[in-house]
Structure formats: C-alpha cells, structure tokens
Amino acid sequence: MSRSLRRARAVIDATLVDRLDSLAGAALARLPETAYPLVNKLSAAKLVPPARLPGDVVTIGSEVEYRDDLTGRALRVRLVWPEHADISRGCVSVLTPVGVALLGLSAGDRFRWIMRGGEERALTVLEVAPESPSPAEA
C-alpha cells in the first residue's frame, strides 16, 4: 500500500491521556462532533511512554504539514492545548476536528471523518516536525 493511502493506528503519549480524556469529557455537551471522536481515538490508540514516542508522530507541540484531501491545499499548523490555540499564528487546538484528526498520526497517514452536517472530510499528513515549545508556552 502506498504511504499516501496508509491509515495507521494512532500512537499517543500516555502521559497526555488523562488531560485529553478530561477535555473530551468537558466538551461532550457543547462540542460532541469533536469530543466523541477524541474519546474514540484515545480508546483505540497505542499508548506509549514519552521516551518511546517516535519523533514523527503528531503530539501536542508538533508542527504538522497536511493536505486537505478535499481541496488539495497543503497547510502547516502546530497542534496545541485549547488555551494556546491561535489560528492566526497557525496554532490549532487538539479540541477541534482537525486537531483530533491529526493527533497520533505520522507522515503518510490518512484520516477521514464525517462533519456534523454530513460532509466527509479527509486529510493526509505530509510532514511532522518534533515537538518544540511555542512562544506562548515558553
């Protein structure tokens, strides 16, 4: 199978799971289209200690280039906690549909999901730069 079509099981830093689970729980009533997929991703993910998390896996702080498969447009963002989100600086919250989709993927992985209005979306991860502190978090 070509890398552009690969869809792998998400790999997530085990030390982040409690906070991610709490975020999902708090968002169930107001953001179900994000909360449920995050809960599902966490329950299906391979959890690893931070020292064993591959450098090319999207985690909090990672800079990611991905392609929106619907438009063909490539975008570069940094995945962050909700309190550090700032789309004007390219910082996308893990508690958004795209943030949930990217979490735990690596270059070549593809993710599809259905938006609340029934629209199918898909993205392909093109490149992942390892986690580094953003100015807002330093």
Judge whether 134 lies within some domain. Answer: no
Number of domains in the chain: 1
82 belongs to a structural domain: yes
Amino acid at residue number 38: L
- Whether 59 shows a pLDDT value over 50: the answer reads yes
Q: Give the pTM.
A: 0.85
pLDDT digits (tens, 9 = 90+) for 14-38: 999 999 999 999 998 888 888 998 9
Domain assignment of residue 135, yes or no: no
Residue 137 inside a domain? The answer is no
Residue 3: predicted pLDDT: 39
CB-count exposure of residue 14 (10 Å: 0-12, 13-18, 19+) = middle
Indicate whether 28 belongs to any domain: yes
Mean of per-residue pLDDT scores for the chain = 87
CATH of the domain at 69: 3.10.50.30
If one compares 8 and 25, the residue with the highest pLDDT of the two is 25
Could you please report the per-residue DSSP string of 23-73? HHHHHTTT-HHHHHHHHHHHHHSEEE-GGGS-TTB--TT-EEEEEETTT--
The answer to the question of residue 138 being in a domain is no
Confidence (pLDDT) at 5: 46
pLDDT (tens digit, 9 = 90+) per residue, 80-89? 999 999 999 9
Structural domain that includes position 82: 3-129
